[in-house]
């Protein structure tokens, strides 16, 4: 195995959060943003006049759009690189003082960039269809074709130019400030497990311990930590959702908007698609419940919330008593990826060789895992906390799936690489499935087969029960927030009821503090960051099931599908590449049939 790194090497960008070049870059970006504001100033007049351009005016305005677009793209890339770097530092050490100071500064620069180009954006949203047709025929501006088509659906939600700028400016210290507070809390809170004080990232990994006592202590420790900050997190959730509801109310001047409308638009799915997927999944929630019961039967327990990530009892007797090393995990994933596509396997190794993965545990490490990227040059990065469990291995495969998605889009224009959350999760879960299937094929004993079937069962319970319960909770939270401030006690009750709605009797009791411990509810920029995981899970299984049907042509189909995710809606992607309609329950039923078979396999091995 080549020399692999388990910590990031981002030195080609900056040497650290105290690098003087960061300040120099920020000053240069500020100047570029000011220049861009001047470049976009001419668009104010036609926006405020609200009159269509005459055809003989098209050429002159197209030249101005072209110049502003090129400058915005260049500035956005530089700002994106700087924000990615600072975020990467804070992920590894949430107490890094320099990075903590830079984060709000860069958020402010982002807001100023958005304000500088707001007149251009509104100009393009309100322009005539004839002008837009001329615009996308321009070779430089053609990359905006889908983006404009999609964004122009929001024309009737636009406010005045001054109001749009005001919302963007206020969000830095308002909406985003609350999200920043949660991030700081999650990185600095400590809990006690086995008499030792540990960070939340470490405690989360202990939920995969084979020792049920340790799992219980970790779960109770995490909940106790968040219980001590319950009122703070309640304030965060109320502020974030209150902000979103007020903005939605302000934008409902032509038609009343539902609180899910913005989320569906961001996810590039129709409301009919979301409804079909959620309703079909609820009808078949017993699949996930069966998985939990089978796992409980093997462990001779009635599963509790701290058992949701419990490993199979075979893991210690199968040569992995100490878990996987990082190098072994990369080797395992690369091998599985290579069976599908050798280039994908080589890519996984390259990520670790180049120091594009940070997985080494650190004291003040952020919780969770994610894939991000630098904009120029286009390079993906992965963050997670790796401590050797099979769950860690599959998380790494998940994030490498995301990274591969970014990699195959490298040559596309910038505006054709922005894919939605729904389609983002497709590639990541596809990567997980490749690893699980490869492991099952290699298994030679019933114990080894059970170990892999266990991971499939764990995925089924997570995606068919936990993810939907988050969606149900968030719906109830938003509806309650419409009526007023939601206190911590009510949030506990709502979360308990949401878990009961999906898990029913498959757990002994429910996680009432999950609203506080789960980062996704407190992401300022995104609401309903839950159902995209279910979408990606079921969608990726549906795609994966086509492998045998397409044979040698499947890799090209899959790659082309990924490349189209930045320039199509989810419905269009599926119709083009699979000739199916995801607004109908039949599509989701077929994917759930695949999960049903996997759970049946677990049940047979659990006997």
The radius of gyration of the chain from alpha carbons, rounded to an integer in Å, stands at: 24
- Report d(CA 366, CA 188) in Å as an integer: 8
Kindly state whether residue 323 falls inside one of the protein's structural domains: no
Q: Which two tokens stand for residue 349?
A: 């190794």
Looking at the 3D structure of the chain, how many domains does it have?
1
pLDDT category at 366 given cuts 50, 70, 90 is: confident
Kindly state whether residue 61 falls inside one of the protein's structural domains: yes
What pLDDT does residue 314 have?
63
- Report d(CA 527, CA 241) in Å as an integer: 8
What pLDDT does residue 316 have?
46
pLDDT at 315 over 70: no
Strand-pair partners of 358: 383
Cα 154–Cα 427–Cα 313 angle in degrees, nearest 5: 130
For residue 39, the SS3 value is: helix
- Report d(CA 158, CA 175) in Å as an integer: 19
Kindly state whether residue 115 falls inside one of the protein's structural domains: yes
Kindly state whether residue 499 falls inside one of the protein's structural domains: no
Q: What are phi and psi of 252, to 5 degrees?
A: -90, 40
> For residue range 92-145, what is the model confidence (pLDDT) as tens digits?
998 999 999 999 999 999 999 999 999 999 999 999 999 999 999 999 999 999
pTM for this prediction: 0.88
pLDDT category at 320 given cuts 50, 70, 90 is: very low
Strands 378-383 and 190-193, bridge-based pairing: unpaired
**CA separation, residue 262 to residues 110, 241, 258, 497 (Å):** 21, 13, 8, 25
Kindly state whether residue 231 falls inside one of the protein's structural domains: no
Asked if residue 476 lies in contact with residue 498, where contact means CB atoms within 8 angstroms, the answer is yes
What pLDDT does residue 546 have?
85
pLDDT at 494 over 90: yes
Kindly state whether residue 118 falls inside one of the protein's structural domains: yes
Handedness of CA 335, 336, 341, 346 (dihedral sign): negative
What pLDDT does residue 16 have?
95
Residue 293, classified by CB atoms within 10 Å of its CB into exposed (0-12), middle (13-18) or buried (19+), is buried
The mean pLDDT value for 25-39 works out to 97
The mean pLDDT value for 442-466 works out to 91
The mean pLDDT value for 529-535 works out to 94
What domain range includes position 123? 20-173
The mean pLDDT value for 525-532 works out to 92
More confident residue, 426 or 142: 142
What pLDDT does residue 552 have?
87
- Report d(CA 290, CA 295) in Å as an integer: 9
pLDDT category at 322 given cuts 50, 70, 90 is: low
What pLDDT does residue 321 have?
46
The mean pLDDT value for 553-559 works out to 93
Strands 378-383 and 357-358, bridge-based pairing: parallel
Instruction: Look over the chain and give the mean of its residue pLDDT values, rounded to a whole number.
Output: 93
Kindly state whether residue 110 falls inside one of the protein's structural domains: yes
What pLDDT does residue 130 have?
95
What pLDDT does residue 526 have?
87
CATH of the domain at 148: 1.20.140.70
Kindly state whether residue 227 falls inside one of the protein's structural domains: no
The mean pLDDT value for 171-184 works out to 92
Residue given tokens 């995925």 in the structure block = 459
- Report d(CA 151, CA 158) in Å as an integer: 11
DSSP H or E stretch at residue 406: helix 390-407
- Report d(CA 52, CA 375) in Å as an integer: 35
What pLDDT does residue 318 have?
45
pLDDT category at 490 given cuts 50, 70, 90 is: very high
Asked if residue 325 lies in contact with residue 352, where contact means CB atoms within 8 angstroms, the answer is no
Q: What are phi and psi of 138, to 5 degrees?
A: -75, 130
Asked if residue 451 lies in contact with residue 436, where contact means CB atoms within 8 angstroms, the answer is no
pLDDT at 424 over 60: yes
**Helices then strands, each counted (H, E), the chain:** 28, 5
Q: Which two tokens stand for residue 299?
A: 């462990």
pLDDT at 418 over 90: yes
**H/E/C letters for each residue in 255-272?**
CCCCCCHHHHHHHCCCHH
> For residue range 433-443, what is the model confidence (pLDDT) as tens digits?
999 888 888 88
- Report d(CA 290, CA 504) in Å as an integer: 11
pLDDT category at 1 given cuts 50, 70, 90 is: low
């Amino acid at each position: 195995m080549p020399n692999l790194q388990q910590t990031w090497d981002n030195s080609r960008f900056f040497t650290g959060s105290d690098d003087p070049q960061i300040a120099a870059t920020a000053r240069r970006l500020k100047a570029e943003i000011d220049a861009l504001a001047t470049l976009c100033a001419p668009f104010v007049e036609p926006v405020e006049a609200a009159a269509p351009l005459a055809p003989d005016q098209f050429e002159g305005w197209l030249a101005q759009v072209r110049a502003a677009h090129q400058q915005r793209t260049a500035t956005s890339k530089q700002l994106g690189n700087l924000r990615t770097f600072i975020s990467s530092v804070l992920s590894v050490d949430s107490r890094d003082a320099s990075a903590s100071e830079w984060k709000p500064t860069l958020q402010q620069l982002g807001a100023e960039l958005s304000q500088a180009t707001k007149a251009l954006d509104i100009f393009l949203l309100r322009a005539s269809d004839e002008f837009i047709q001329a615009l996308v025929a321009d070779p430089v501006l053609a990359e905006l074709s889908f983006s404009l088509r999609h964004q122009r659906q929001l024309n009737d939600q636009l406010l005045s130019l001054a109001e749009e700028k005001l919302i963007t400016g206020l969000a830095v210290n308002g909406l985003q400030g609350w999200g920043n507070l949660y991030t700081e809390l999650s990185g600095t809170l400590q809990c006690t497990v086995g008499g030792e004080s540990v960070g939340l990232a470490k405690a989360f990994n202990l939920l995969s311990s084979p020792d049920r006592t340790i799992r219980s202590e970790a779960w109770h420790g995490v909940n106790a930590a968040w219980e001590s900050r319950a009122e703070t997190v309640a304030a965060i959730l109320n502020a974030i959702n209150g902000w979103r509801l007020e903005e939605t109310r302000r934008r409902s001047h032509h038609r009343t908007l539902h609180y899910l409308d913005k989320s569906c638009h961001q996810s590039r799915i129709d409301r009919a698609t979301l409804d079909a997927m959620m309703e079909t999944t609820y009808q078949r929630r017993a699949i996930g419940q069966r998985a939990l019961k089978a796992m409980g039967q093997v462990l001779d327990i009635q599963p509790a919330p701290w058992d949701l990530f419990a490993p199979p009892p075979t893991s210690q007797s199968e040569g992995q008593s100490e878990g996987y090393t990082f190098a072994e995990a990369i080797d395992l994933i690369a091998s599985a990826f290579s069976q599908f596509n050798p280039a994908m396997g080589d890519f996984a190794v390259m990520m670790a060789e180049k120091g594009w993965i940070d997985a080494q545990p650190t004291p003040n490490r952020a919780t969770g895992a994610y894939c991000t990227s630098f904009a120029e040059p286009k390079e993906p990065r992965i963050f997670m906390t790796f401590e050797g469990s099979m769950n860690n291995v599959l998380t790494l495969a998940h994030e490498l799936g995301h990274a591969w998605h970014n990699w195959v889009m490298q040559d596309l224009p910038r505006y054709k690489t922005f894919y939605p959350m729904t389609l983002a999760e497709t590639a990541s879960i596809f990567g997980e499935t490749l690893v699980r299937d490869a492991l099952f094929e290699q298994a030679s004993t019933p114990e080894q087969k059970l170990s892999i079937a266990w991971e499939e069962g764990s995925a089924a319970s997570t995606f068919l029960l936990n993810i939907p319960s988050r969606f149900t909770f968030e719906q109830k939270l938003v509806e309650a927030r419409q009526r007023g401030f939601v206190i911590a006690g009510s949030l506990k009750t709502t979360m308990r009821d949401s878990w009961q709605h999906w898990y029913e009797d498959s757990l002994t009791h429910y996680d009432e503090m999950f609203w506080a411990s789960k980062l996704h509810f407190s992401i300022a920029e995104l609401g309903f960051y839950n159902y995209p995981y279910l979408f990606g899970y079921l969608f990726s299984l549906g795609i994966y099931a086509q492998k045998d049907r397409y044979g040698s042509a499947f890799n090209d189909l899959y790659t082309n599908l990924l490349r189209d995710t930045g320039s199509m809606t989810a419905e269009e992607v599926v119709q083009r590449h699979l000739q199916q309609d995801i607004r109908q329950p039949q599509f989701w039923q077929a994917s759930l049939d695949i999960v049903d078979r996997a759970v049946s396999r677990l049940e047979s091995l659990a006997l």
